[in-house]
Amino acid sequence: MRKYQQLILVIISITSISIFLVYRSENERLNHVLNVINFFGQKDAINLVKIENYSNFSYKFDYPLPSWTNLNNEFYGYSAFWRKNDLIKGGEVVAIVLGSIHSAASFQCKIHFADDDSIRYGKFGFMRIEETDISETEVGSEKYVIYKFLCKTQVDYGQQPKNLILINTQTKSEHYLPIRHVTIKNRMNMDKSLMTICLDLNSYNRSFTDDFINDTNLIQYFLHHELVGIRQYIVYQSNTNQMHQHVVDLLSNKYGVRLSLLPYNFPFALSSKEKNRMIIEADCMLRTSGLTKFVTISSLNDFIYPAQKISLQSSLIKIISRTSNEINRFLISTKAVCIDSHRKIHSDNEKYSVDVKNRRFYLEKNEYPFNNREVNDATKKAIEIDTDHIVLLKYTKCLKKDDLYNWRTTLKEKHVEYINFISQELNKLMFLSQ
Protein backbone atom coordinates (compact mmCIF):
# COMPACT_ATOMS: atom_id res chain seq x y z
CA MET A 1 0.00 0.00 0.00
CA ARG A 2 2.79 2.38 0.93
CA LYS A 3 4.60 1.77 -2.32
CA TYR A 4 1.39 2.33 -4.20
CA GLN A 5 0.96 5.72 -2.59
CA GLN A 6 4.53 6.70 -3.34
CA LEU A 7 4.07 5.71 -6.94
CA ILE A 8 0.94 7.84 -7.18
CA LEU A 9 2.81 10.77 -5.67
CA VAL A 10 5.59 10.41 -8.20
CA ILE A 11 3.10 10.28 -11.05
CA ILE A 12 1.31 13.38 -9.75
CA SER A 13 4.61 15.26 -9.50
CA ILE A 14 5.66 14.36 -13.01
CA THR A 15 2.25 15.34 -14.36
CA SER A 16 2.36 18.68 -12.57
CA ILE A 17 5.81 19.50 -13.87
CA SER A 18 4.84 18.57 -17.41
CA ILE A 19 1.69 20.67 -17.22
CA PHE A 20 3.72 23.54 -15.88
CA LEU A 21 6.28 23.27 -18.69
CA VAL A 22 3.61 23.06 -21.37
CA TYR A 23 1.78 25.95 -19.82
CA ARG A 24 4.93 28.03 -19.67
CA SER A 25 5.84 27.48 -23.28
CA GLU A 26 2.24 28.12 -24.35
CA ASN A 27 2.27 31.26 -22.34
CA GLU A 28 5.44 32.48 -24.01
CA ARG A 29 4.02 31.66 -27.40
CA LEU A 30 0.85 33.49 -26.55
CA ASN A 31 2.76 36.51 -25.35
CA HIS A 32 4.61 36.56 -28.62
CA VAL A 33 1.38 36.29 -30.59
CA LEU A 34 -0.19 39.03 -28.52
CA ASN A 35 2.76 41.32 -29.16
CA VAL A 36 2.38 40.76 -32.87
CA ILE A 37 -1.37 41.35 -32.77
CA ASN A 38 -0.74 44.44 -30.73
CA PHE A 39 1.75 45.68 -33.27
CA PHE A 40 -0.66 45.30 -36.17
CA GLY A 41 -3.58 46.45 -34.06
CA GLN A 42 -1.87 49.75 -33.58
CA LYS A 43 -2.78 50.70 -37.11
CA ASP A 44 -6.22 51.45 -35.90
CA ALA A 45 -5.73 53.76 -33.01
CA ILE A 46 -9.30 53.60 -31.78
CA ASN A 47 -9.05 49.85 -31.50
CA LEU A 48 -5.74 50.30 -29.81
CA VAL A 49 -7.32 52.30 -27.07
CA LYS A 50 -10.47 50.20 -26.91
CA ILE A 51 -8.79 46.83 -27.13
CA GLU A 52 -7.72 47.24 -23.54
CA ASN A 53 -11.25 47.93 -22.40
CA TYR A 54 -11.83 44.37 -21.33
CA SER A 55 -12.44 44.61 -17.65
CA ASN A 56 -15.43 46.10 -15.90
CA PHE A 57 -13.53 46.44 -12.70
CA SER A 58 -13.29 49.88 -11.26
CA TYR A 59 -10.93 50.80 -8.47
CA LYS A 60 -13.52 53.39 -7.43
CA PHE A 61 -10.79 55.91 -6.83
CA ASP A 62 -13.49 58.53 -6.40
CA TYR A 63 -15.32 56.70 -3.63
CA PRO A 64 -16.13 58.25 -1.29
CA LEU A 65 -15.53 61.72 -2.67
CA PRO A 66 -13.11 63.81 -0.64
CA SER A 67 -13.93 67.39 0.19
CA TRP A 68 -12.30 70.07 2.32
CA THR A 69 -14.35 70.09 5.49
CA ASN A 70 -14.12 72.63 8.26
CA LEU A 71 -13.23 70.97 11.58
CA ASN A 72 -13.40 74.33 13.34
CA ASN A 73 -11.93 77.68 12.36
CA GLU A 74 -8.37 76.54 12.48
CA PHE A 75 -8.48 73.07 10.95
CA TYR A 76 -9.74 71.55 7.70
CA GLY A 77 -9.87 67.88 6.76
CA TYR A 78 -9.79 66.59 3.17
CA SER A 79 -9.90 62.80 3.12
CA ALA A 80 -9.63 59.78 5.41
CA PHE A 81 -8.39 56.24 4.80
CA TRP A 82 -8.69 52.98 6.68
CA ARG A 83 -6.04 50.38 7.14
CA LYS A 84 -6.72 47.21 9.00
CA ASN A 85 -3.82 45.96 11.10
CA ASP A 86 -2.01 42.98 9.61
CA LEU A 87 -1.37 40.78 12.58
CA ILE A 88 -3.17 42.28 15.52
CA LYS A 89 -6.78 43.29 15.93
CA GLY A 90 -8.08 46.68 14.93
CA GLY A 91 -6.72 49.23 12.53
CA GLU A 92 -6.31 52.93 11.99
CA VAL A 93 -7.79 55.80 10.10
CA VAL A 94 -5.41 58.32 8.54
CA ALA A 95 -6.81 61.71 7.62
CA ILE A 96 -5.21 64.54 5.66
CA VAL A 97 -5.73 67.78 7.53
CA LEU A 98 -4.62 71.38 7.18
CA GLY A 99 -4.32 73.34 10.40
CA SER A 100 -3.08 76.55 11.89
CA ILE A 101 0.46 76.30 13.12
CA HIS A 102 -0.50 78.39 16.14
CA SER A 103 -3.26 76.26 17.54
CA ALA A 104 -3.00 72.87 19.12
CA ALA A 105 -4.59 69.93 17.40
CA SER A 106 -6.84 69.08 20.32
CA PHE A 107 -9.30 66.53 19.06
CA GLN A 108 -10.78 63.24 20.07
CA CYS A 109 -11.86 60.73 17.51
CA LYS A 110 -14.52 58.13 16.91
CA ILE A 111 -15.09 55.71 14.08
CA HIS A 112 -18.51 55.02 12.67
CA PHE A 113 -18.85 51.43 11.44
CA ALA A 114 -21.40 50.63 8.78
CA ASP A 115 -21.79 46.94 9.71
CA ASP A 116 -23.92 47.55 12.76
CA ASP A 117 -24.11 51.34 12.65
CA SER A 118 -22.04 51.52 15.81
CA ILE A 119 -19.79 54.41 16.82
CA ARG A 120 -16.64 53.63 18.80
CA TYR A 121 -13.97 55.80 20.32
CA GLY A 122 -10.47 55.50 18.90
CA LYS A 123 -7.14 56.84 20.12
CA PHE A 124 -6.37 60.19 18.53
CA GLY A 125 -2.89 61.15 17.37
CA PHE A 126 -1.35 63.48 14.83
CA MET A 127 1.84 64.24 12.95
CA ARG A 128 2.87 67.35 11.11
CA ILE A 129 4.09 66.73 7.63
CA GLU A 130 7.42 68.38 7.96
CA GLU A 131 9.33 69.44 4.98
CA THR A 132 11.49 72.49 5.31
CA ASP A 133 10.65 75.67 3.41
CA ILE A 134 7.33 74.65 2.01
CA SER A 135 5.49 73.16 4.93
CA GLU A 136 4.34 76.55 6.14
CA THR A 137 2.44 78.98 4.04
CA GLU A 138 1.09 82.36 4.91
CA VAL A 139 -2.64 82.37 4.48
CA GLY A 140 -3.68 85.85 5.50
CA SER A 141 -1.70 86.38 8.65
CA GLU A 142 -2.00 82.76 9.75
CA LYS A 143 0.50 80.07 9.09
CA TYR A 144 -0.93 76.74 8.04
CA VAL A 145 0.66 73.37 8.07
CA ILE A 146 -0.33 69.94 6.74
CA TYR A 147 -1.12 67.29 9.31
CA LYS A 148 -1.72 63.60 9.29
CA PHE A 149 -4.42 62.83 11.87
CA LEU A 150 -4.62 59.28 13.16
CA CYS A 151 -7.43 57.44 14.87
CA LYS A 152 -6.42 54.01 16.12
CA THR A 153 -8.44 51.16 17.49
CA GLN A 154 -7.23 47.84 18.80
CA VAL A 155 -10.55 46.10 18.70
CA ASP A 156 -12.24 44.56 15.67
CA TYR A 157 -15.59 46.28 15.81
CA GLY A 158 -16.51 45.78 12.22
CA GLN A 159 -15.16 45.43 8.74
CA GLN A 160 -16.64 48.57 7.31
CA PRO A 161 -15.51 51.80 8.92
CA LYS A 162 -17.63 54.44 7.26
CA ASN A 163 -16.87 57.79 8.84
CA LEU A 164 -14.14 59.31 10.91
CA ILE A 165 -15.66 61.60 13.51
CA LEU A 166 -13.32 64.29 14.84
CA ILE A 167 -14.46 65.93 18.04
CA ASN A 168 -13.11 69.33 18.84
CA THR A 169 -12.24 69.10 22.53
CA GLN A 170 -12.94 72.78 23.16
CA THR A 171 -16.24 73.25 21.40
CA LYS A 172 -17.30 69.57 21.56
CA SER A 173 -18.46 69.90 17.97
CA GLU A 174 -18.30 66.74 15.83
CA HIS A 175 -17.10 66.67 12.24
CA TYR A 176 -17.44 63.78 9.80
CA LEU A 177 -14.95 62.70 7.17
CA PRO A 178 -16.00 59.72 5.02
CA ILE A 179 -13.48 56.87 5.10
CA ARG A 180 -12.09 55.17 2.01
CA HIS A 181 -11.30 51.49 2.33
CA VAL A 182 -11.32 49.77 -1.03
CA THR A 183 -9.25 46.63 -1.28
CA ILE A 184 -8.74 44.15 -4.07
CA LYS A 185 -10.80 41.04 -3.58
CA ASN A 186 -9.68 37.81 -5.17
CA ARG A 187 -11.41 38.16 -8.47
CA MET A 188 -10.36 37.95 -12.05
CA ASN A 189 -9.21 41.11 -13.76
CA MET A 190 -8.76 42.85 -10.47
CA ASP A 191 -5.01 43.03 -10.35
CA LYS A 192 -3.10 46.03 -9.28
CA SER A 193 -3.05 48.57 -12.01
CA LEU A 194 0.44 49.20 -13.33
CA MET A 195 0.50 52.96 -13.30
CA THR A 196 -1.84 55.71 -12.19
CA ILE A 197 -1.53 59.39 -12.98
CA CYS A 198 -2.76 61.85 -10.37
CA LEU A 199 -3.36 65.00 -12.33
CA ASP A 200 -3.34 68.33 -10.55
CA LEU A 201 -5.64 70.58 -12.59
CA ASN A 202 -5.71 73.38 -10.10
CA SER A 203 -5.10 76.82 -11.37
CA TYR A 204 -2.42 78.55 -9.36
CA ASN A 205 -2.90 81.83 -11.15
CA ARG A 206 0.58 82.60 -12.09
CA SER A 207 1.74 80.17 -14.62
CA PHE A 208 1.31 79.26 -18.22
CA THR A 209 -0.65 76.19 -17.05
CA ASP A 210 -3.71 78.32 -16.36
CA ASP A 211 -4.23 79.13 -20.05
CA PHE A 212 -3.16 75.66 -21.03
CA ILE A 213 -6.18 74.02 -19.39
CA ASN A 214 -8.70 73.90 -22.24
CA ASP A 215 -10.78 71.16 -23.88
CA THR A 216 -8.41 70.20 -26.68
CA ASN A 217 -5.39 70.11 -24.41
CA LEU A 218 -7.29 67.96 -21.90
CA ILE A 219 -8.30 65.48 -24.59
CA GLN A 220 -4.78 65.37 -25.98
CA TYR A 221 -3.36 64.76 -22.52
CA PHE A 222 -5.48 61.71 -21.77
CA LEU A 223 -5.33 60.19 -25.26
CA HIS A 224 -1.57 60.56 -25.39
CA HIS A 225 -1.11 58.83 -22.06
CA GLU A 226 -3.61 56.09 -22.95
CA LEU A 227 -1.61 55.45 -26.12
CA VAL A 228 1.66 55.09 -24.21
CA GLY A 229 0.02 52.57 -21.89
CA ILE A 230 -1.27 54.39 -18.82
CA ARG A 231 -4.73 53.26 -17.78
CA GLN A 232 -5.87 55.05 -14.66
CA TYR A 233 -6.29 58.75 -13.96
CA ILE A 234 -7.28 60.62 -10.85
CA VAL A 235 -8.02 64.27 -11.51
CA TYR A 236 -7.97 66.93 -8.77
CA GLN A 237 -9.83 69.98 -9.91
CA SER A 238 -10.69 73.21 -8.17
CA ASN A 239 -14.21 74.50 -8.62
CA THR A 240 -13.24 77.19 -11.05
CA ASN A 241 -11.47 74.81 -13.32
CA GLN A 242 -13.80 71.93 -14.04
CA MET A 243 -13.35 69.52 -16.85
CA HIS A 244 -16.44 70.07 -18.95
CA GLN A 245 -18.94 67.24 -18.92
CA HIS A 246 -18.78 66.78 -22.70
CA VAL A 247 -15.02 66.25 -22.45
CA VAL A 248 -15.45 63.69 -19.66
CA ASP A 249 -18.19 61.91 -21.65
CA LEU A 250 -16.14 61.85 -24.82
CA LEU A 251 -13.08 60.46 -23.07
CA SER A 252 -14.88 57.84 -21.01
CA ASN A 253 -17.56 56.74 -23.47
CA LYS A 254 -15.76 56.95 -26.77
CA TYR A 255 -12.24 56.05 -25.71
CA GLY A 256 -12.80 54.14 -22.48
CA VAL A 257 -10.44 56.39 -20.53
CA ARG A 258 -10.81 55.64 -16.83
CA LEU A 259 -11.15 58.95 -15.12
CA SER A 260 -11.84 59.57 -11.46
CA LEU A 261 -12.68 63.21 -10.87
CA LEU A 262 -12.13 64.62 -7.41
CA PRO A 263 -13.10 68.06 -6.15
CA TYR A 264 -10.27 70.05 -4.66
CA ASN A 265 -12.11 72.88 -3.01
CA PHE A 266 -9.08 74.19 -1.15
CA PRO A 267 -10.36 76.47 1.62
CA PHE A 268 -7.84 79.25 0.92
CA ALA A 269 -6.40 80.88 -2.16
CA LEU A 270 -4.36 78.30 -4.04
CA SER A 271 -1.30 80.44 -3.66
CA SER A 272 1.21 77.74 -2.98
CA LYS A 273 1.57 75.20 -5.68
CA GLU A 274 4.12 73.21 -3.70
CA LYS A 275 1.93 72.96 -0.65
CA ASN A 276 -1.08 71.84 -2.61
CA ARG A 277 1.06 69.37 -4.49
CA MET A 278 2.10 67.83 -1.20
CA ILE A 279 -1.51 67.43 -0.14
CA ILE A 280 -2.49 65.99 -3.50
CA GLU A 281 0.48 63.65 -3.44
CA ALA A 282 -0.46 62.42 0.03
CA ASP A 283 -4.07 61.87 -0.97
CA CYS A 284 -3.06 60.18 -4.21
CA MET A 285 -0.69 57.78 -2.44
CA LEU A 286 -3.28 56.83 0.16
CA ARG A 287 -6.12 56.58 -2.32
CA THR A 288 -4.28 54.26 -4.67
CA SER A 289 -2.60 52.31 -1.90
CA GLY A 290 -2.50 48.61 -2.74
CA LEU A 291 -4.28 49.18 -6.05
CA THR A 292 -1.54 50.43 -8.32
CA LYS A 293 2.17 49.71 -8.61
CA PHE A 294 3.41 53.15 -9.62
CA VAL A 295 2.01 56.64 -9.44
CA THR A 296 3.02 60.03 -10.67
CA ILE A 297 1.73 63.47 -9.74
CA SER A 298 1.45 65.51 -12.85
CA SER A 299 0.28 68.75 -14.46
CA LEU A 300 -1.56 69.04 -17.74
CA ASN A 301 1.57 70.19 -19.58
CA ASP A 302 3.66 67.24 -18.37
CA PHE A 303 3.80 64.67 -21.19
CA ILE A 304 5.47 61.34 -20.57
CA TYR A 305 7.35 59.85 -23.54
CA PRO A 306 8.56 56.33 -22.86
CA ALA A 307 10.73 54.58 -25.42
CA GLN A 308 8.06 51.93 -25.83
CA LYS A 309 4.56 51.31 -24.60
CA ILE A 310 4.48 51.03 -20.81
CA SER A 311 3.73 47.46 -19.77
CA LEU A 312 5.19 44.76 -17.57
CA GLN A 313 7.43 43.85 -20.50
CA SER A 314 8.73 47.35 -21.23
CA SER A 315 12.33 48.15 -20.39
CA LEU A 316 11.25 51.00 -18.13
CA ILE A 317 9.09 48.84 -15.88
CA LYS A 318 11.65 46.04 -15.88
CA ILE A 319 14.32 48.45 -14.71
CA ILE A 320 12.32 50.11 -12.00
CA SER A 321 10.97 46.79 -10.78
CA ARG A 322 14.49 45.50 -10.40
CA THR A 323 15.72 48.26 -8.10
CA SER A 324 16.21 47.63 -4.42
CA ASN A 325 13.36 48.10 -1.98
CA GLU A 326 14.94 51.19 -0.49
CA ILE A 327 14.50 53.14 -3.67
CA ASN A 328 10.99 54.40 -4.02
CA ARG A 329 11.09 57.22 -6.50
CA PHE A 330 12.50 57.55 -9.98
CA LEU A 331 13.58 60.87 -11.36
CA ILE A 332 12.57 61.39 -14.97
CA SER A 333 14.69 63.64 -17.12
CA THR A 334 12.66 66.71 -18.07
CA LYS A 335 12.92 69.13 -20.96
CA ALA A 336 10.99 72.39 -21.16
CA VAL A 337 9.62 72.39 -24.70
CA CYS A 338 8.54 75.72 -26.15
CA ILE A 339 4.97 75.58 -27.33
CA ASP A 340 3.63 77.23 -30.43
CA SER A 341 -0.16 77.31 -30.40
CA HIS A 342 -0.29 76.66 -34.17
CA ARG A 343 0.95 73.12 -33.70
CA LYS A 344 -1.93 70.86 -32.93
CA ILE A 345 0.01 67.87 -31.65
CA HIS A 346 2.31 68.97 -28.85
CA SER A 347 5.21 66.74 -29.83
CA ASP A 348 5.42 68.64 -33.12
CA ASN A 349 7.00 71.41 -31.07
CA GLU A 350 10.67 70.73 -31.57
CA LYS A 351 12.67 73.15 -29.51
CA TYR A 352 13.42 73.01 -25.84
CA SER A 353 14.96 75.67 -23.69
CA VAL A 354 17.89 75.00 -21.43
CA ASP A 355 17.11 78.20 -19.54
CA VAL A 356 13.79 77.15 -18.05
CA LYS A 357 14.12 75.60 -14.63
CA ASN A 358 12.04 72.46 -14.30
CA ARG A 359 10.42 71.05 -11.23
CA ARG A 360 11.66 67.53 -10.52
CA PHE A 361 9.33 64.90 -11.93
CA TYR A 362 9.14 61.47 -10.36
CA LEU A 363 7.55 58.12 -10.91
CA GLU A 364 6.92 56.71 -7.47
CA LYS A 365 6.48 53.23 -6.14
CA ASN A 366 3.15 53.09 -4.44
CA GLU A 367 4.42 51.80 -1.14
CA TYR A 368 2.74 54.09 1.20
CA PRO A 369 4.28 54.34 4.66
CA PHE A 370 0.95 54.27 6.44
CA ASN A 371 2.16 54.07 9.96
CA ASN A 372 4.98 55.91 11.54
CA ARG A 373 6.37 57.92 8.70
CA GLU A 374 5.37 61.28 7.38
CA VAL A 375 2.97 61.31 4.49
CA ASN A 376 5.46 62.97 2.20
CA ASP A 377 8.62 61.42 3.40
CA ALA A 378 11.47 63.66 2.36
CA THR A 379 13.95 60.89 2.95
CA LYS A 380 12.53 58.80 0.13
CA LYS A 381 15.40 57.57 -1.98
CA ALA A 382 15.47 58.37 -5.65
CA ILE A 383 17.46 57.28 -8.66
CA GLU A 384 17.52 58.87 -12.06
CA ILE A 385 16.16 56.90 -15.00
CA ASP A 386 18.21 57.05 -18.17
CA THR A 387 16.65 59.04 -21.04
CA ASP A 388 16.95 55.90 -23.17
CA HIS A 389 13.84 54.63 -21.39
CA ILE A 390 11.71 57.67 -20.76
CA VAL A 391 11.68 61.47 -20.93
CA LEU A 392 9.24 64.07 -19.77
CA LEU A 393 8.49 66.98 -22.06
CA LYS A 394 7.05 69.88 -20.15
CA TYR A 395 5.26 72.22 -22.55
CA THR A 396 5.85 75.80 -21.74
CA LYS A 397 6.29 79.30 -23.08
CA CYS A 398 9.85 80.25 -23.89
CA LEU A 399 11.43 83.66 -24.12
CA LYS A 400 13.03 85.01 -27.29
CA LYS A 401 16.46 85.15 -25.70
CA ASP A 402 16.35 81.52 -24.56
CA ASP A 403 18.97 79.08 -25.71
CA LEU A 404 17.05 76.51 -27.78
CA TYR A 405 17.83 72.99 -29.03
CA ASN A 406 15.91 70.25 -30.80
CA TRP A 407 14.90 67.63 -28.24
CA ARG A 408 14.65 64.89 -30.85
CA THR A 409 18.40 65.02 -31.43
CA THR A 410 19.00 64.12 -27.79
CA LEU A 411 17.14 60.81 -28.02
CA LYS A 412 17.89 57.46 -29.59
CA GLU A 413 16.45 56.83 -33.03
CA LYS A 414 14.08 54.08 -31.88
CA HIS A 415 12.74 56.30 -29.15
CA VAL A 416 12.08 59.12 -31.61
CA GLU A 417 10.36 56.65 -33.96
CA TYR A 418 8.06 55.54 -31.18
CA ILE A 419 7.24 59.14 -30.26
CA ASN A 420 6.49 59.93 -33.91
CA PHE A 421 4.27 56.89 -34.14
CA ILE A 422 2.31 57.89 -31.03
CA SER A 423 1.95 61.40 -32.41
CA GLN A 424 0.50 60.10 -35.68
CA GLU A 425 -1.98 57.94 -33.80
CA LEU A 426 -2.90 60.87 -31.62
CA ASN A 427 -3.46 62.99 -34.69
CA LYS A 428 -5.74 60.32 -36.16
CA LEU A 429 -7.69 60.00 -32.92
CA MET A 430 -8.12 63.71 -32.37
CA PHE A 431 -8.49 65.15 -35.81
CA LEU A 432 -9.23 62.44 -38.37
CA SER A 433 -11.54 59.97 -36.67
CA GLN A 434 -14.80 61.94 -36.79
Ligand X SMILES: *[C@@H]1O[C@H](CO)[C@@H](O)[C@H](O)[C@H]1NC(C)=O
Q: Which residues bind ligand X (CB under 6 A)?
A: 53, 55-56, 189, 205, 212, 214-217, 256, 258, 269, 339, 341
Closest to ligand X by CB, 68 vs 107, is 68
Closest to ligand X by CB, 258 vs 365, is 258
| Shortest distance (Å) from residue 189 CB to ligand X | 6
| Shortest distance (Å) from residue 57 CB to ligand X | 7
| Shortest distance (Å) from residue 341 CB to ligand X | 4
Closest to ligand X by CB, 320 vs 392, is 392
| Shortest distance (Å) from residue 174 CB to ligand X | 33
| Shortest distance (Å) from residue 156 CB to ligand X | 32
| Shortest distance (Å) from residue 293 CB to ligand X | 19
Closest to ligand X by CB, 342 vs 401, is 342
Cα–Cα distance between 267 and 228 in angstroms, integer? 36
| Shortest distance (Å) from residue 342 CB to ligand X | 7
Closest to ligand X by CB, 125 vs 256, is 256
Closest to ligand X by CB, 46 vs 319, is 46
Closest to ligand X by CB, 26 vs 215, is 215
